[in-house]
Chains A and B, each alone.
Chain A
Amino acid sequence: MNTSSTMLIDGRQVSFSNERNVLEVVRKAGIELPTFCYHSQLSVYGACRLCLVDIEGRGIVTSCSTIPEPGLVIRTQTPELRSMRKISLELLLANHEQACPTCSKSASCQLQALARKLGVHRVRFKPVHKHRPLDLSSPALVRDPNKCILCGDCVRMCAEVQGIGAIDFARRGHDVFVGPAFGKGLAEVDCVHCGQCAAVCPTGAIAPRSHIDQVMDALDDPEKVVVAQIAPAVRVALGEAFGLRPGSSTMGQAVAALKRLGFDKVFDTAFAADLTVLEEATEFLGRMHSNNLGEQAQCPMDNNLGNQAKCPMDQDLGEQAKCPISKKLGEQAKCPISKKLPQFTSCCPAWVSFVERHHPELLSSLSSCRSPQQMFGAVARELLPTQLGIERRHLVVVSIMPCTAKKVEAGLQKFSVDGRPDVDFVLTTQELAQLIERAGLRFHELEPASLDLPLGFKTGAGVIFGNTGGVAEAVLRYAGEKLGGHRQGSVEFHAVRGLEGIRTASVRFGEQTLRLAIAHGLANAKELIRRLQSGELEADLVEVMACPGGCVGGAGQPITSSDEVLGKRAQGLYDADRTLQLHKSQENHLVAELYRNELGDCGGEKAHELLHTSYQHRRRIVEDSLALGQAGANALCLRVCVGTNCHLKGAQDLLHRLLRYVHEHELDAAVDVQASFCFERCDRGPTVSIEDEVIERCSFEQAVSALERRLLSLPQSALGALRAASGEQQPSAE
């Protein structure tokens, strides 16, 4: 290291090399400067003013936004700095709703911790903010603006790491607040409920929504039989809530705790993950096959193809096999697996939600497999009532998940049967820890207990689902074998592991080469999609997990922002995989038994009913249109989408010309021109609607002729009335 790369911090020489800012150098020197708004993975914001330092010759600056330079003389602790930090904190506290004992973030709140560390015992300033209503629209997250200290961590997390920007600062100066667009609730905007905002929020301003009470009620109900599924990533993080090392597996203790809490059966979501691998890999192989057959290819299982057809699933289905799906869907149906590559994974509900809102063009590329949580729910509803000898309605399925988005997923209409959701409640890892504390169980002293069978049996492939790269690796272990590439020795594919945001790997099986692309963090996913769509990158299978690190970094886990902790959790899962008996989902004999006894064929009719789903293009904003004219009550409704996509394709111009046209033709009262938000046909914009008729790729001429057609079709009397109305209005307008 260059000797000149040193600076003097509090009288000590500190060397630095590639630290990005003075704050990192100070922390390297073992001095903990307080911060709210600084996160190494986010951009530098400089808002909280707590990381102030005194640099000789420059005065007091925020260390997070100062580039390290050799020879700087820095002081971190002066009376002036201390008093400034204290006042900053006091001011923050003045407007912070101090409901600390009842706050969900109590005890892990950074504001609380800093007030203690900096010795703020009294707040001398009066609060000036009015109470703002809580945002309870999301089943996964609760937003309490009254606890927000405007550090902007959530805003930058959502925009920079997740590439969404569902929340931002609104208004100015004194009135500034953080929230979704138009003052709407999180559920009404393009939020995917990944919860990473809550994970970085230093206070309780955004927090996961708790389902503990509902679960306790179910446990207390003597009629109910409550079963739990534990997701892979939970086992390597739960212990952190009780002071154990990150990555140390506490599955045995978690099961013991759940049993003590009154759960009748405890199962492993990794079982369903094994199921997912079989379904998803089968789907993938089908797509690959159909891709290989070329453009003309139809369903590889179509009987019409005759003997030439070679479907990788033929072996499984036997000679008589017909595509069970096309039968079910009727003649017009196309085999759902004869879709293009790459196939995108669908295990992560935040990612699925992201595709549904932002990339409708990828919907058909998304695997139709339900997530392991929902596969488990469906199978449990199918299997357990008979197995446990109970009525269907008495079964309560609780998921223990590292994730907040799973709470939303569980509540989706499509995962309900007769109004009953397959998964009743979702608890996060943190909530399980709270539940254990609430029950007064001493976690360390619990003797490990056993998972119940059959849904508690898994292979290592199911366990690594909790890591970025894990789903891809699990699918490789199956698909690779099906493609005939028998690998010698290890089943581990280290090429797909790691914490790089976007990773690619090519794995050769026999004559086939599988190209994989993996992204975690939705901003990375966005970039990966761009590369794929631009042709920069080609892939056959794309795995996306919304949270950094995959599910181990989910927002329901004990909070960490350290890659080191994520790495240890990941290692914990890989260790579990290594030490389990089986490593390939196809070797899970209890999954095989499930197919034999209940589901029929892999990818078959029953499997599709229970284990697959469909996707739909969703509106990003739940929004009424903005009326621009002065139309009467009976006016024709003409709406022009001014969403980003349509805007780029000239919607603004179109809207202006239409407004002018209506005005010039004295149709103001007869035609109600509205600027609208999204018909969700962004790829075919600009989009215009006249009443119920939607015109894609609409030109001004198309719109006018359609409008004229409409107007002409109106009865003369009605048209006259409308024109009269316009006529009456016109003078007043002039």
Chain B
Amino acid sequence: MDEPLELGPVVFTHKAQCRDCYRCLRMCPVKAIRLENGQASVVPELCIACGTCIRECPQGAKAFRNDVALVRRLLAHRPRVLASVAPSYVGLLHPWERQRLPPALRCLGFSYVSETAVGAWHVAQESTELLRTASSQEPKLCTACPAFVRYVREYRPALAPFLMPLASPMLTHARLLKARFPDAAVVFIGPCVAKKDEAGRSAGLVDAVLTFEELLQWLEDEELDLSAFEESDFDELAPGSAGLFPLPGGLVEAGGMDERALSESSIAVSGFDELREALDSLESCPQALLVEALFCPQGCINGPATGQRQTLFARRLAVLREGRRPLSAPPRPEHASTWELPSPSPQPLAPVDEEELRRLLEETGKARREDQLDCGACGYPSCRAKAEAVLRGMAEREMCLPLMRRLAEKRTDKIIETSPNGIIIVDAQLSILHMNPAFRHFFLCSDAVLGKKVSYLFDPEPFETLAAGSEAQVECTQRHEAYNLICHEIFYALREEGQFVGIFVNITNSQGNKRKLDELRSHTVQQAHELLQHQFQMAQQMAKFLGEHTAQGEALVKNLLALALTDERDGG
């Protein structure tokens, strides 16, 4: 092969599809997701590649690295490429499809198709042997699930010594295959994303990992229809009950550790919540117990890259039915899974300055313990954890629902509080719920009237119209003599809240001015009339003397009168 392909991180975000919902962060068991400008991105150093976020993201914005190109390269350049297929394939495929999977893989170029459960069988046998010879009273943690192993090593280092020194079925199988075919490349095909990470850390033992989703897509891209293949077996089938490995409890059965379905010496946990609880318990109180932990709820059959062709129930049933094979001639134990586990490597979390933390909490309204709701809406389990994440550059200050709500509410309040218009909100019984300062000023009241009927302040007729439901909005101009107030008023209903809002635009001043002008005008007319009357009387009296004078005076007065009347008409 010329030069290795540059492999990106196993899990990543499609930025375009990510729309700040924080669901990935909420679900991420190790909080390996950084939020920046409302967008989530996976921090590869922290990520244990469990794939939870891929399963959970409602927008499909989380993805795993597609390795089909890598596998094509292997097929083109390596003398032989072997496929190791995880046992959960039986849950994914119909019976007739299962029989045609090996030929389809051979058609893609794989020269040998084997079940990973072959490795699982060896793991189970060695686990049994290990447990029999182990004398200590310590817990034993199974290592089949790479996400679990990485979680313990990096996030629960105290428990890391209890991990059994055994390789996973995938690595065990790869070891067996490479011992037989030294020149071969091994490609694991399964439901798991963490295996991609595990393979990358296996020093070339597993050359590539494909998920079932990648495989099915690849077949589709090649226009290979499973129905067009002759049925054909795997080149190697797993013995015994190793096919049950993808289910919680599969190891105990495959290893023949206990014939009973439920045993007090082992506990199978799946899904992060169960697993964390078990680890918490063991950390506080270590006891001799085999912990078979699978990171995905209900085990590998629910792996994040299983595809959605069958229900989880159907997948589980298929594995239960097909996972057991007669163990006619058990293979020779080869100690192929003995494995020196790397020492724990706890995630180095940058220390947080307490003073900065306190200031941040204060700024976000969480200074007091009782203000720290620990609601988890941000994705972090506590306000303190979230604040630490902010200080470490992993989270944004605004990622807090109560904080954001308060901020948002403050903004609305401000608009209402500073409005020059009077605003009142009443409930269905027309009792006053809220008034803004302008309203209080207009109607000369204080918060003391809160809860009182609005009729206490003014005629509630517009509200009653709304309450009657006949109209959605009432608009009018009213004069409130008692308050020397003229308002243009708008009333509308908040039907869902069962509340009514009144907005009062004060137009008293403009109304007053008009009246003054009107008064002036009518006063002028009246004075003109009075003058006219007066002058008529004068004229009648003076007519005898000043006939000509009178006619002039009359013309003048008429002019004046006409002017006044015209003004009035224009202004009206």
Contact = CB atoms under 8 A, between A and B. Distances in A.
Query: Are A and B physically bound partners?
Result: yes
Interface of A: 235, 248-253, 447-451, 463, 489, 575-576, 578-581
Contacts of B234: 581
Interface stretch (B83-91, B98-106, B256-264, B268-276): B98-106
B96 A575 contact: no
Contacts of B235: 581
Given A581-B232, A581-B233, A581-B234, A448 B103 contact: no
Interface string B84-126: 0000000000101001101110110000010000000000000
Closest 6 CB pairs between A and B?
A: A579-B103, A579-B106, A580-B232, A448-B96, A581-B232, A579-B107
Contacts of A450: 96, 99, 231
A230 B107 CA distance: 23
A449 B96 contact: yes
Given A579-B106, A579-B107, A581-B234, A249 B229 contact: yes
Contacts of B227: 252-253, 447-448
A252 B106 contact: no
Contacts of A581: 102, 113, 232-235
Contacts of A248: 228
B228 A580 contact: no
Interface in B216-242: 227-235
A267 to B, nearest CB: 13
B79 interface: yes
B230 A579 contact: yes
Given A252-B227, A450-B96, A576-B103, 5 more contacts: A248-B228, A449-B96, A578-B106, A581-B102, A581-B232
A578 B230 contact: no
Interface residues of B, number: 20
A431 to B, nearest CB: 22
B98 to A, nearest CB: 10
17 contacts: A249-B229, A250-B228, A252-B227, A448-B100, A451-B231, A575-B107, A576-B229, A579-B103, A579-B104, A579-B106, A579-B107, A579-B229, A579-B232, A580-B106, A580-B232, A581-B102, A581-B235
B96 A235 contact: no
A69 to B, nearest CB: 44
Contacts of B99: 450
A250 B233 CA distance: 18
B230 A251 contact: yes
Contacts of A489: 79
A248 B232 CA distance: 16
Contacts of B79: 489
Contacts of B113: 581
Interface in B117-173: none
A638 to B, nearest CB: 62
Interface in B427-467: none
Nearest to B233: A581
Interface SS of B by simple majority: loop
Interface of B: 79, 94, 96, 99-100, 102-104, 106-107, 113, 227-235
Nearest to A446: B227
B232 A249 contact: no
A251 B48 CA distance: 45
A463 B96 contact: no
A235 B103 CA distance: 15
Nearest to B234: A581
Contacts, number: 53
B377 to A, nearest CB: 48
B232 A252 contact: no
Contacts of A449: 96
A249 B228 CA distance: 5
A463 B107 contact: no
A447 B227 CA distance: 8
Contacts of A253: 227
A448 B233 CA distance: 15
A447 B231 CA distance: 13
A463 B231 contact: no
B233 to A, nearest CB: 5
A579 B230 CA distance: 8
A580 B96 contact: no
A555 B113 CA distance: 37
Nearest to B108: A579
A463 B102 CA distance: 17
B183 to A, nearest CB: 10
A580 B107 contact: no
A462 B28 CA distance: 54
A451 B99 CA distance: 11
Contacts of B96: 252, 447-450
Nearest to B224: A579
Given A252-B96, A448-B96, A449-B96, A578 B228 contact: no
Contacts of A578: 106-107
Nearest to B106: A579
A249 B107 contact: no
A458 to B, nearest CB: 9
Nearest to B95: A450
Interface centre among A450, A463, A575, A579 (most CB of B within 10 A): A579
B97 to A, nearest CB: 8
B112 to A, nearest CB: 9
Given A448-B100, A450-B96, A450-B99, A235 B106 contact: no
Contacts of A447: 94, 96, 227
Nearest to B112: A581
A259 to B, nearest CB: 12
A213 B230 CA distance: 29
Interface centre among A251, A252, A581 (most CB of B within 10 A): A581
Contacts of B229: 249, 252, 576, 579
Given A575-B107, A578-B106, A249 B231 contact: no
A463 B230 contact: yes
A448 B94 CA distance: 11
Contacts of B106: 578-580
A235 B230 contact: yes
Given A252-B100, A581-B102, A576 B231 contact: no
B231 A252 contact: yes
A580 B103 CA distance: 6
A490 to B, nearest CB: 9
Interface centre among B102, B227, B228, B232 (most CB of A within 10 A): B228
Contacts of B103: 576, 579-580
A489 B181 CA distance: 12
Nearest to B103: A579
Nearest to A256: B96
A182 B234 CA distance: 59
A62 B231 CA distance: 51
B7 to A, nearest CB: 29
A577 to B, nearest CB: 9
Contacts of A579: 102-104, 106-107, 229-230, 232
A449 B96 CA distance: 7
A565 B233 CA distance: 29
Contacts of A463: 230
A449 B94 CA distance: 11
A592 to B, nearest CB: 15
A31 to B, nearest CB: 32
A580 B234 CA distance: 9
A449 B231 CA distance: 9
B388 to A, nearest CB: 56
A542 to B, nearest CB: 29
Contacts of A575: 107
Contacts of A580: 103, 106, 230, 232
Contacts of B228: 248-250
A307 B524 CA distance: 156
B309 to A, nearest CB: 15
A252 B103 CA distance: 13
A448 B104 CA distance: 15
A287 to B, nearest CB: 33
A576 B232 CA distance: 10
A250 to B, nearest CB: 7
